[in-house]
Chains A and B, each alone.
Chain A
Amino acid sequence: MARMKFLCDAERCIECNGCVTACKNENETPWGVNRRRVVTINDGVPGERSVSVACMHCSDAPCMAVCPTDCFYKTEEGVVLHDKDMCIGCGYCFFACPFGAPQFPNGPSAFAARGKMDKCTFCAGGPEENGSKAEFEKYGRNRLAEGKLPLCAEMCSTKALLAGDAPVISDIYRDRVMHRGKGGEAWGWATAYGRPENANEGAKEQKREGAK
């Protein structure tokens, strides 16, 4: 069964912020709410790397664990969503999330003026009728119900940001690394992406990297 994930290839991300713009436009998020953003490490220094970050739809999501109103849920296809009618805007999820995904738009809520939490929905809407106006206003577009993938990934000009079923996008990334001949030297590569049929190619690649 599908297990929806994002994968950002830092070798390809050019920090164009196209994903951020696409997300903001598609979901019409308010000022101050950026469901996705691009983080750059060593900005301006040769070898700088950028990576596009949003909710990673964790398999064991900490936001779900800490929410006092239990407003989060996980869909069958592995997308972490939340019910804004139950959210009290306490901000616990923000502290729990290692990616800084939960966003607060300022507005009425039970706790202070943070407003109800907003985050990336993997373009899967929320617990309202699929494709309804109420769903769009609260959670944004439901592209998954249309058989489409999140717009941030579909709009990515260099295809650095991949979205889809985990095994499918892992295969795409593995293909890419085998073709370009680098990336596979990363620690844990063999565990995460290595496959018995690619073992020889992986060894060749390691040898090539070692010879450099």
Chain B
Amino acid sequence: MGEAELLQLVDGCRRQNRADQKMLYKAFYGFAMGICLRYTHNRYEASEIMNQGFLKVFTNLDKYDTNRPFKAWIGRIMMNTAIDHYRSNLKVAFMEDIDAAADIGHDDLPDRKMNYNDLLAMIQRLPNAYRTVFNLFVIDGYSHEEIAAMLNISTGTSKSNLFKAREKLKKMIAEAELTDGRSGSGTHDHFVSITAVFIGVPFLINIITR
């Protein structure tokens, strides 16, 4: 979308033109949903947050500074909406004991680039607190101080949550590799077993017939 066209859409949305609102929504749907998916457990929750974010976009277009990138503005709104959602659900947030996320000592990352769905699934499997900090720090580039201010937590908690998030992700990656490996060695075992049977059975028959 060209800049002029975007400005027309923004202007139409300012005047609550429904057609322009839909066009803008469609234009930034993937971008906004991508952000929201990273901060949530599933697509349904992401969709709820994304729509809340777009509502803020449509109702705050007058505050948009046209000299700044619109996409970044929308992204920030989506992220803030996701964080607000996280805050409002703190009571039900899953808090995992740090001991449970032990260092698996797996420093090697898989050589192949994993499917984005796999990566997203791993992120979404993280507890809310870990996932939020990991997203803010790793993907969105905020410092621990900024994260602490945004989430009303201490810097230490932010660091701790990031650590735990990493450990969990490592574990998930290891599990994924192990699963792949297991699926590969199983085949080999079957092959060995069948071969042994094929070798062993004639050998036994020979012993018996003697």
Q: Do A and B come from one complex?
A: no
